[in-house]
Structure 1
Amino acid sequence: MNLAVISDVHGNLDALKAVFEDMEKRNIDSVISLGDLVGYGPSPNGVVEFIRNKKVLNIVGNYDSAVIYDDFKYIRHNEINEFFVPWTRKELKEENINYLKSLPDNIELKIKNKKLVFVHGSTRSINEYLKENSHEAKDTMKEFDGDILFCGHTHIPYKKEYDEKILINVGSVGKSKMGTPECSYVIVNFLQDKVSFDFVKVKYDYEKVCHMMEKKEFPHKSINTIRTGIE
């Protein structure tokens, strides 16, 4: 059995489709999304509807929350977000807003005697960054009562072991911060009593997305991030 975990699509439908095409080649059994379906990218409705149609298990992200509640407390209050929050809120269909409002903050699963917990930021806050080797990550894992914690939010994938517990950041599908414009996601493989992880990178036509953003007169800095993987 295997499970794919994705996060931070951020309105980038082309990236999301590329990741699912990659999953089909790998015969993935099921998919979980760690939120932030919207924000930054040009296709928020397309992304939400794609996830809904695929019946993907999903949780709410901090940017999703900022958009649906029109509240900057979930995200950084800067010039980029001052553009994207109202733009995305206006663009989203009401049925898709209601879907985002219905999402849980976390998911817990028991597989092969392992407790798996899925969050967007951390177990403590939807917008806490669990950067690799950070004090926040160390403190979170000290308190964590499961076996494997999956998070997104930082857009940079990594695996870190804390004694018997494991922290997995799955990176970002639609807004890379890896220094390259690729998508990233993680495959979890369950073989008897063992669990292994494959960190996957997927190429896609990011220039097509950038052209769409340019036509919509999105901020240049946000377009450049899609091209370079650097924020």
Structure 2
Amino acid sequence: MKSYAIITDIHGNSPALKAVLEDIDSKEIEQIFCLGDMIGIGPDSNTVMELLLQRNNISFVIGNHEIAVIAAYKGELPPKGHEDERVHHKWLADRIEERYIDFLKKLPKRIVYEDSGIKFYLAHYHLNSMGDYLPIEKNPTSEKLDELYSNLDYDIVCFGHHHIVHQFKSDKINYFNPGSLGCYHKPIARYGIVRINNNSIEEEVIEVPYNNVSFLKSYEDLKVPDREFILKIFHGAQI
């Protein structure tokens, strides 16, 4: 049996990421797939990127927040749908190290991976034929997801972006989103494990408790733009 870790939507939360990486290291994990939105929302962009890039067992795709921060860094127009977040993304872009921008802008939007005859498709979120992210489906079902991937030959599709957990299984494909690692209404960091055993696929959501008090306080200490909205919507007004 082989096991893969799926992490997504860290959103600049370094203590949550540290807790998850420590938990992953306690298990026999072949590879980590990081499905985007490593930065954005939370203020710890540089620390998050340092933690991720010091490891050699992580494969990455880019997320919408990386795309938006890169645009702000380069002085380009914000991506569609991120116009109202430009002040926040510019604040992050002014503080992130250039080497991380150079790394992020080279990332793909999708990864195709195969192990023991099991074909993985991994992306930050579902993409249309032009390679653009689709709008979030608020009420996903296996039937709706099968329509999106009807012409593709995959056994498991892993994604993030929508911060809640998705575990759907159709006759054809397993669909798995372990939920946001860094944005949650509890002091818990989430990630997923995909286990491959012969021709079977098993997914599990892992919840790791961590101390988020200093992290949440840092929004006010650093005067992060839109901090009141972020703390309410993305962290459940825990402070």
Counterparts of 1:213 and 1:165 in 2: how far apart (Å)? 40
Q: Retained in 1: the 8 A contact 2:164–2:179?
A: yes
Which of the residues 135, 138, 141 maps onto 1:128? 135
Structure 1, unpaired ranges of 5+: none
Q: Which residue of 2 aligns with 1:151?
A: 159
Q: Match of 1:142, as an amino acid?
A: S
Q: 1:165 to 1:77 in 2, by over 3 A?
A: same
Q: Which residue of 1 aligns with 2:206?
A: 200
1:106-125 equivalences in 2 (<5 Å) = 106-124=110-128, 125=132
Q: 1:60 to 1:127 in 2, by over 3 A?
A: farther
How far has the Cα of 1:186 moved from its partner? 0.8
Which of the residues 74, 77, 91 maps onto 2:83? 77
TM-score by length of 1: 0.89
Q: Which residue of 2 aligns with 1:160?
A: 168
Q: Secondary structure at the match of 1:109?
A: strand
Larger helix proportion of the pair: 1
Output one character per residue of 1:91-143: Cα deviation in whole Å (capped at 9) or x when no partner.
11111100000111111111121110001011323353244525863531334
Q: 1:37 to 1:75 in 2, by over 3 A?
A: farther
Which of the residues 57, 61, 64 maps onto 2:63? 61
Q: 1:127 to 1:97 in 2, by over 3 A?
A: farther
Which of the residues 61, 83, 90 maps onto 1:86? 90
Q: 1:15 to 1:127 in 2, by over 3 A?
A: farther
1:24-63 equivalences in 2 (<5 Å) = 24-55=25-56, 56-63=58-65
Q: Match of 1:57, as an amino acid?
A: S
Aligned residues: 226
Counterparts of 1:129 and 1:226 in 2: how far apart (Å)? 16
Q: Retained in 1: the 8 A contact 2:231–2:237?
A: no
Q: 1:229 to 1:26 in 2, by over 3 A?
A: farther
Q: What is the aligned-residue identity percentage?
A: 26
TM-score by length of 2: 0.86
RMSD: 2.1
Q: Retained in 2: the 8 A contact 1:7–1:185?
A: yes
Counterparts of 2:14 and 2:24 in 1: how far apart (Å)? 15
Q: 1:121 to 1:187 in 2, by over 3 A?
A: same
Q: Which moves more between the two structures, 12-21 or 67-76?
A: 67-76
Q: Which moves more between the two structures, 111-120 or 188-197?
A: 188-197
Q: 1:16 to 1:105 in 2, by over 3 A?
A: same
